[in-house]
Amino acid sequence: MNKGIAVITGADGGMGREITRAVAEAGYPIIMVCYTTQKGTKVKNEIIEATGNKNIELMQADLSSMQSVAELADKILEKQQPIALLMNNAGTMQTKLQITNDQIERTVAVNYLAPYLLTRKLLPLMGKGTRVVSMVSCTYAIGRVDLPYFFDKGRKGAFWRIAIYSNTKLALLLFTLSMSALTKDTGICFNAADPGIVSTPIITMHAWFDPLTDVLFRPFIRKPREGADTAIRLLLDKENEGKTGTFNLSGHTKALSDKYINHPKKELLWAESERRVKQWL
C-alpha cells in the first residue's frame, strides 16, 4: 500500500468528517481541506481525540475560486510527499445563480472545476497505488453537459439548482473516467462513489415546507456514515486495490452504460475544462 498522505476536501462536512475519521483510523497522515478554519479546527480536534492520529493538518481553501484551489495545490506540492489518497468530496448546491470571479457558476466551480484543477495539479505526487475517489451522485443520470452554458450558468435555460447539481455530478463522473483512461498504465486508480441520498445540510429546498420534509423524509435517508461508506471502501479496502474507472454504489461496482463510458461530450468537456484552468496549470 502506498504510505503517502491523504488529501480530503470538504473534510469538515457530514460525510467529509466520516471519511476523515476512517482514514485517520487507518493511520494515514491527512490534509483536511476546509472552507473555514474555525469549523475545520473543531472537527480536526474531534478526530484526533477519537482516533489518536495526530498527523492531521488543516488547509483552508475556497473551492469556488480557482486561484485558491491552485494555491492549495501548490502548498501540497511544496511538501513533496507522495499522495496515497485523494478524496474529492466537497460539494454544494446553490439556491440561486451566483457567478464567481472566474466567471463560472458557483456549483460548477465547487463540484466540478475545483476537483478537476486540484487533481490535475497534484498528479506529480501520485504513483502506483494512489487512489483517487470523487463523490458523485445518482443524479448524474439526469445530468447534461451543454457547452458553454454548463460553465457560464450551470445549464441551458433558466436557473434550476437540482438540474445544475446533476450536471456537475455527470461532469465529475466523466472526468473520473477520462483520468482513469489517461493514467491506465501508471497504477493510479480513479473511481467514483455515489453516496445515495444522505441527510446533510445540502438536502434542503429553503422553502416553507422544509420543517415538514425534515419530519417525514429525513429519518428515512442515509446518515452521513452510511453515505460515506462506499467512498471509504474505495479508499481503504484491500479488495479495491487496483480498481479503476468504476462507478460504485452501496459498496459495490455498478456497470455504466455505453452512453456514459463513451459520452459524446466527454472530450469537449475535457478540452473546455483545460481552457478554463490553463492559467493555473
Which tens digit of pLDDT belongs to each residue from 171-189?
999 999 999 999 999 999 9
CA–CA dist 77, 123 (Å, integer): 10
Cβ neighbours of 221 (radius 10 Å):
14
Residue 197 binned pLDDT confidence (cut-offs 50, 70, 90): low
Percent of the chain with pLDDT over 70: 90
pLDDT given for residue 99 in this prediction? 98
Alpha carbon 49 to its chain centroid, in Å, reads 26
91 pLDDT higher than 60: yes
Report pLDDT for 87: 98
Confidence band of 107 (pLDDT split at 50, 70, 90)? very high
Q: What is the pLDDT of residue 204?
A: 45
Closest CA to 166 of 188, 142, 201: 142
276, 105 Cβ separation under 8 angstroms? no
- The pLDDT of residue 196 is 77
Query: Taking 60 as the threshold, does the pLDDT of residue 211 lie above it?
Result: no
Q: What confidence score (pLDDT) does residue 6 get?
A: 98
What is the pLDDT, as a whole number, of residue 276? 97
Buried b or exposed e, range 77-105, using 16+ CB within 10 angstroms = eeeeeebbbbbbbbbbbbeeebebebebb
**Mean of pLDDT over the chain:** 91
User: Hey, what domains does the chain have and what are their CATH numbers?
Assistant: 5-197+225-280 (3.40.50.720)
Sheet with 83-88: list strands edge to edge: 56-60, 30-34, 5-9, 83-88, 131-135, 189-194, 246-249, 252-254
Name the band, by pLDDT with cuts 50, 70 and 90, for residue 222. Answer: low
pLDDT at position 220 is 40
Residue 50 has pLDDT above 90, yes or no: yes
- φ, ψ of residue 53 to 5 degrees: the values are -85, 110
User: Are residues 10 and 91 in contact, defined by beta-carbon separation less than 8 angstroms?
Assistant: yes
Q: Does residue 215 have a pLDDT over 70?
A: no
* pLDDT at 175 (0 to 100): 98
User: How many residues appear in the chain?
Assistant: 281
Distance CA 145, CA 263 (A): 10
Residue 219 clears pLDDT 70, i.e. is over it: no
Question: What secondary structure, in 3-state letters, does the chain show?
Answer: CCCCEEEEECCCCHHHHHHHHHHHHCCCCEEEEECCHHHHHHHHHHHHHHHCCCCEEEEECCCCCHHHHHHHHHHHHHHCCCEEEEEECCCCCCCCCCECCCCCEHHHHHHHHHHHHHHHHHHHHCCCCCEEEEECCHHHHHCCCCCCHHHHHCCCCCCCHHHHHHHHHHHHHHHHHHHHHHCCCCCCEEEEEECCCECCCCCCCCCCCHHHHHHHCHHHCECHHHHHHHHHHHHHCHHHCCCCCEEEECCEEECCCHHHHCCCCHHHHHHHHHHHHHHHC
What gap in Å lies between CA 154 and CA 254, rounded to an integer? 27
How much is the pLDDT for 223?
84
Rounded to an integer, the average pLDDT of 99-127 is 98
**Cα–Cα distance, 179 to 163 (Å, whole number):** 24
Asked if residue 13 has pLDDT above 80, the reply is: yes
* Measured distance CA(176)–CA(245) in Å, rounded: 7
Does the pLDDT at position 18 exceed 90? yes
